[in-house]
Amino acid sequence: MYFRSCGYMDIATDPARASVLDRLGSLADETRTRILLLLEGSEFTVSELCQVVQLPQSTVSRHLRILSRDGWLAVRSEGTSRHYRLSASLDAAARSLWTAVREELSATPAAREDRLRSKSVLEARAERSRAFFSTEAGRWDSLRRELFGGRADLQLLPGLLEGTERVGDLGCGTGQLARLLAPFAGELVAVDRSPQMLDLARERLRGQAGVRVEQGDLEALPLKDGSLDVAILSLVLHYVVDPARALAEVHRTLRPGGRILILDMQRHQRARFREEMGHVWLGFTPAELEGWLEDAGFEAIRLVDLPPDPEAAGPLLFSLRGRSRKGPSTMHPTAVNGSGQPDLERRGTDDADSN
């Protein structure tokens, strides 16, 4: 409670006004205001501040303790270093007080000298970073793989999702891609025809919110019409007997305007993959895919051949995207032969093993 005497509030018992008086006291020292001016513009460590204000570390540390105690600073620890900056959460009274002090102080000779010295300190910091890259550029990729793994760049891409999309990982395998996408999607369904693969996918996706795992074929997906916003087929289409029928089925599950993303192999001649890994198609040509996709009901199709990975021993890959247009799909008339098997005659001599 506050008491009044002759119409005045006793400021000694008003916590808000007491805080203002404390802050006035912390700004009464010129060195502390010089430090605050520096920390308003950039983040500095104690040693860097010592270089700028030309004072010993004990003096600078003492002033930083006072400023921190009175709520002026934000502090970030990084290893054994502490980085200081003017707090972004100052209340209105403190911000008004600082504005008034800063206007008076910023034109002083000491403040101008501090600004010049701080530029040199910041340039030296940047130069250390440049020096690292100038000496390590040749092994930067391997160093980054060592620190962050070979898939670090891919961690960025799911952020392109808005967080509300219903995503289908169709032919999900062990759920590696689904696990990467799940935190960024509104809902995610992982579909595969192999019970063994799905067991591993369920284990990998355990505890992920908004995720379900379903068994089914691409040619007969266990999904409702228009239930997906994004459909992903990652290295799975070459296992499908009838890609045209599968793409028409994917179109059925996408809402109008929904997107299809495909990663698969460019046409190759490694026929042994059929026996060794069960591949049905030896990759695809752009003309094949574009024809099937257009007949399935897709538009805005874009296919990009991906650069080879020096560490990969398999065929070259491509990435493709398309958008679902409204209306039913039509089956590609030459997608399969009369027996329901892929029309291998269309591929000519590409089926021969180059080895």
| Predicted local distance difference test score (pLDDT) of residue 6 | 37
Q: Is domain 151-351 classified as CATH 3.40.50.150?
A: yes
- Whole-prediction pTM value? 0.60
| Predicted local distance difference test score (pLDDT) of residue 287 | 94
Dihedral angle of Cα 64, 67, 71, 73, to the nearest 10 degrees: -50
Low-confidence ranges of the chain (pLDDT < 70): 1-21, 132-138, 140-141, 143-145, 147-153, 327-355
**Can you tell me the distance from the alpha carbon of 171 to that of 169, in angstroms, rounded to the nearest whole number?**
6
Q: Is there a shared CATH topology between the 12-139 domain and the 151-351 domain?
A: no
Structure tokens at 145: 């793989």
Q: In Å, what is the CA distance from 210 to each residue of 43, 156, 172, 182, 199?
A: 40, 20, 16, 8, 18
Domain coordinates in residue numbering, the chain: 12-139, 151-351
Q: Are 273 and 282 in contact (CB under 8 A)?
A: yes
CATH fold of 12-139, please? Arc Repressor Mutant, subunit A (1.10.10)
N residues, the chain: 355
| Predicted local distance difference test score (pLDDT) of residue 24 | 79
